[in-house]
Amino acid sequence: MNADPRRLAQALGHRFTREELLIQALTHRSVGSSNNERLEFLGDALIGFVIAEALWERFPKADEGTLSRMRASLVKRESLARLARDLKLGDSLRLGAGELRTGGHARDSILADALEAVLGAVYLDAGFERTRTVVLELFAARLEQTDAERAGKDPKTRLQEWLQSYKRPLPEYLVLSIDGDQHDQTFIVSCQLQDADVTTRGTGTSRRRAEQAAAESMLERIQHG
């Protein structure tokens, strides 16, 4: 843990002029009062707007409800946590002793919040246009895969329909672990195809969310390699 934050900045494609903003964005509230919560608030709003604008331009015939569902799917906690893992953001987090002991660097909520905070830090460091560029590059692959017709369907449903279209058996979901306190649990669930040696994992704050995350990973794997 505590890898050089500049590695994260490099993966994100932004060189910070004010590196103290990046440090603050990676500091969880368990460390102290100087943490990333205010930056998280800012980053959440920025991501929501940039993605809303991108969807509005990409899908000119989609109605408000469809656009809202697509945005919600792209910016939900599990989606942000997957992006954070792709960036290896957890390696650079600054956590208090309690969160370190309970694996906070891998928890969806902490990763998603930290990614929002980092993007809030980009905005304060370099302005809106630079932030827009970073967000769009970060979400590029997922925006490309977004389909207005599927916007109302969750990943488990989409995976089931895809498998049924090829007359393949439905997947099996298995809870691998449940960590954390009763009020802040983290579920890890596997999704396995019964007719192939392919397994993915998903993490979430409930079994249902973890299953959805595992199904999303499986869809990405079987459809896009």
CA dihedral (89, 48, 136, 67) in degrees, to 10, reads: 130
Q: Report helix, strand or coil for 12.
A: helix
pTM to 2 decimal places: 0.71
Is 19 annotated as a binding-site member?
A: no
Please provide residue 202's backbone torsions phi and psi, each rounded to the nearest 5 degrees: -135, 150
| Cβ atoms 93, 1 nearer than 8 A | yes
| CATH number listed for the domain at residues 5-148 | 1.10.1520.10
Is 40 annotated as a binding-site member?
A: yes
Tens-level pLDDT at each residue, the chain (225 residues): 567 888 999 999 999 999 999 999 999 999 988 899 999 999 999 999 999 999 999 999 888 988 988 898 899 888 899 999 999 999 999 999 888 888 888 888 999 999 999 999 999 999 999 999 999 999 999 898 887 666 657 889 889 988 999 999 999 999 999 988 877 789 999 999 989 889 999 998 899 999 999 998 898 888 765
Nearest Cα to Cα of residue 6 among 110, 118, 144 = 118
| Cβ atoms 101, 10 nearer than 8 A | no
Compute the distance between CA of residue 25 and CA of residue 114 in angstroms, rounded to an integer: 6
Please provide the size of the chain in residues: 225
CATH architecture observed for domain 155-224: 2-Layer Sandwich (3.30)
Between the alpha carbon of residue 138 and those of residues 50, 65, 86, 154, 199, the distances in Å are: 11, 24, 10, 22, 25
Running DSSP on this structure, what letter comes out for residue 149?
G
Place of tokens 């109302």: 152
Is 220 annotated as a binding-site member?
A: no
CB atoms inside a 10 Å sphere around CB 222: 17
Going by C-beta distance under 8 Å and a sequence separation of 6 or more, which residues neighbour residue 210? 175, 187, 188, 189, 202, 203, 204
Q: What are the catalytic residues?
A: 44, 116
The beta strands (E) that lie in the chain are given as 172-179, 186-192, 199-204
* Domain layout of the chain by residue ranges: 5-148, 155-224
